[in-house]
């Protein structure tokens, strides 16, 4: 049974449910505010660089808080009308002057949700600037706390500052006077400002233990609880250092699934898998027992029982309700799960209700191309181009379809327009480079591929495309170091080894060419094309 907020999340297509399991926690945290004229700020609108994409969660909050004033901010410009009660402002979550002006104009906020960059330094800075401005009893929620352990977001296992989990754990330890309660869940945390906040929503039976309880005793009492029941620790400030450290460890390791992504050898207490929530209010700590194994979108496991149940509930609701954004979100999820039949069913339902957004066309055309239904893809592309003649993604899709049809001249024109309109779209630029090569313009093709590699220097696929075009363009000597670099970083890349063999052959280095293709064959022994290439080289 989906709660009221989760139903709205599914209908509007926000990833706060499905990819994540946030909305049940939000409903428990914010349900008591539904009928009030709350002022809510969400950092991060979504949709990345596109002005007319994103806003799914803003629509959810708008409908959940029927009397609320909803504000979204994003570093990108957004052009969308979500109704009179929703405003979207452009600005950075770490721009002090911008935030101060926002609070003056739209605040003070009762609820602040950080779903922005997820970079640790940004999360900490935003909290330090915004939490003092909250209305009394207000709530500051930070999503995707797992990035505290992701190096590419500035995270680490030792939580060295600035680190979002480390910062909030330290607040949990000392509970400053302006923080009345901290509630920690998988991948998210809520901090309540002083001013009569609601107590934690504890649905299960509560068992109390004192601060002098040994850790083994705590573990035994917690293990004996039923699902949803609560272990209360009273007098936490008076607890010994060992017990406090253990509880703080649980505060961190509630994100155990994501810790394991980058640090699989990190020791995790078994209790973390059974800790559904952890609250501190005053001198009391509450440990809520439940299943804490739900995978996030960083490691989504579609065979997980709760994930399967959620997807089934989402499908049932959306096939009845027929909301475009929700159908597209679930179709993407089902496609990632490998359930192509359900993805196609959802997209057909979206078409049935008249879906016409760019997101719909991109998803539906991609599905047609994966099924090699080029005629169906082209029919959708013709409709899409009529509505969005300058959209770079749709132009890119059209160019790809033209390539499949052998219309290289037409593809060249379309892909050139796509690159002009979206110069930072690396994949489209690579497609354009390949089209240039096919119409015998190798120097221009190489220049476009070089630009793509400059824009995405860590992408081995783009480097291999550049190397391939260099070989075609008579510059095999430049391709060799590129391919050797790829193989040094990814020694099991058979395609790179095959390209390297081509480069060596073009340079007249037969022995090195044979050695490279033998490496490719060792990595992909079933590949008949590699075998034929090797035999031809050996024959000379």
Dihedrals φ, ψ of 454, to 5°?
Answer: -60, -40
Residue 273 DSSP one-character state: G
Burial of 529: CB neighbours in 10 Å, binned 0-12, 13-18, 19+: exposed
Per the annotation, the verdict on 118 as an active-site residue is: yes
What is the distance between the alpha carbons of residues 216 and 387, in angstroms, rounded to a whole number? 65
Nearest to 157, CA basis, from 16, 72, 264, 41: 264
* Opening angle at CA 515, ends 512 and 516, nearest 5: 85
Residue listed under structure tokens 């505060």? 251
SS3 276: strand
User: Which phi and psi (to 5°) does residue 413 adopt?
Assistant: -65, -45
* Alpha-carbon distances of 262 from 163, 170, 274, rounded to whole Å: 16, 23, 21
How far apart (Å, rounded) are the C-alpha atoms in residues 33 and 4? 13
Give the closest residue to 110 by CA, choosing from 41, 175, 61, 58. 41
* Cα–Cα dist 441/463, whole Å: 19
Distance of CA 34 to the CA centre of its chain: 28
Distance CA 233, CA 228 (A): 16
Q: What are the φ and ψ backbone dihedral angles of 270, each rounded to 5 degrees?
A: -55, -25
Strand order in the sheet with 206-209: 86-90, 69-74, 39-43, 111-114, 139-142, 188-193, 179-185, 275-281, 284-289, 230-233, 206-209
431 closest CA partner among 447, 411, 455, 409? 411
Among the listed residues 481, 447, 483, 490, the one whose alpha carbon sits nearest the alpha carbon of residue 463? 483
Instruction: Choose among 267, 338, 346: nearest CA to 314.
Output: 346
Candidate list 12, 27, 118, 462, residue with the active-site label: 118
Rounded-to-integer distance, Cα 304 and Cα 313, Å: 14
Q: Measure the CA–CA gap between 156 and 153, rounded to whole angstroms.
A: 9
- The residues annotated with a catalytic role in the active site are 118
């Amino acid at each position: 049974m989906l709660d009221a907020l989760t139903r709205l999340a599914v209908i509007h297509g926000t990833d706060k449910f499905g990819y994540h399991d946030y909305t049940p926690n939000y409903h428990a945290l914010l349900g008591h505010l539904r009928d009030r004229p709350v002022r809510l700020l969400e950092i991060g609108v979504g949709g990345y660089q596109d002005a007319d994409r994103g806003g799914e969660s803003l629509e959810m909050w708008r409908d959940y808080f029927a009397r609320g004033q909803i504000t979204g901010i994003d570093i990108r410009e957004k052009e969308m009308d979500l109704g009179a009660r929703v405003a979207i402002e452009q600005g950075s979550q770490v721009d002090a002057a911008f935030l101060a002006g926002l609070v003056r104009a739209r605040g003070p906020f009762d609820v602040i949700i950080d779903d922005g960059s997820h970079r640790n330094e940004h999360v900490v800075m935003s909290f330090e600037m915004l939490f003092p401005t909250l209305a009394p009893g207000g709530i500051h929620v930070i999503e995707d706390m797992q990035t505290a352990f992701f190096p590419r977001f500035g995270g680490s296992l030792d939580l060295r500052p600035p680190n979002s989990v480390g910062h909030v754990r330290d607040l949990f330890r000392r509970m400053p006077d302006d923080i009345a309660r901290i509630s920690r869940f998988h991948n998210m945390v809520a901090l309540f400002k002083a001013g009569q906040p609601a107590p934690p929503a504890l649905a299960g039976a509560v068992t109390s233990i004192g601060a002098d309880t040994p850790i083994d005793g705590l573990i035994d009492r917690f293990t004996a609880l039923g699902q949803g029941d609560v272990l209360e620790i009273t007098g936490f400030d008076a607890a010994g250092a060992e017990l406090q450290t253990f509880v703080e460890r649980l505060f961190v390791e509630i994100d155990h699934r994501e810790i394991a992504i980058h640090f699989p050898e990190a020791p995790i207490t078994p209790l973390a898998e059974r800790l559904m929530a952890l609250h501190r209010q005053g001198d009391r700590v509450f440990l809520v027992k439940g299943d804490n194994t739900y995978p996030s979108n960083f490691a989504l496991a579609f065979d997980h029982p709760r994930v399967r149940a959620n997807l089934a509930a989402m499908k049932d609701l959306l096939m009845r309700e027929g909301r475009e954004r929700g159908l597209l979100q679930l179709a993407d999820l089902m496609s990632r799960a490998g359930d192509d039949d359900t993805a196609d069913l959802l997209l057909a339902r979206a078409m049935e209700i008249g879906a016409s957004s760019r997101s719909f066309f991109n998803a539906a055309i991609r599905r047609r191309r994966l099924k090699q239904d080029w005629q169906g893809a082209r029919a959708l592309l013709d409709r899409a181009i009529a509505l969005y003649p300058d959209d770079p993604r749709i132009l890119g899709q059209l160019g790809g379809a033209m390539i499949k049809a052998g219309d290289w001249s037409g593809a060249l024109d379309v892909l050139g327009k796509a690159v002009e309109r979206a110069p930072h779209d690396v994949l489209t630029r690579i497609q354009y480079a390949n089209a240039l090569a096919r119409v015998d313009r190798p120097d221009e093709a190489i220049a476009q591929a070089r630009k793509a590699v400059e824009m995405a220097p860590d992408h081995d696929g783009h480097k291999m495309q550049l190397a391939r075009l260099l070989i075609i363009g008579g510059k095999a000597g430049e391709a060799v170091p590129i391919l050797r670099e790829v193989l040094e970083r990814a020694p099991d890349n058979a395609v790179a080894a095959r390209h390297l063999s081509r480069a060596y052959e073009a340079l007249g280095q037969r022995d090195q060419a044979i050695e490279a293709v033998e490496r490719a064959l060792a990595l992909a022994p079933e590949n008949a094309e590699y075998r034929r290439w090797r035999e031809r080289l050996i024959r000379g």
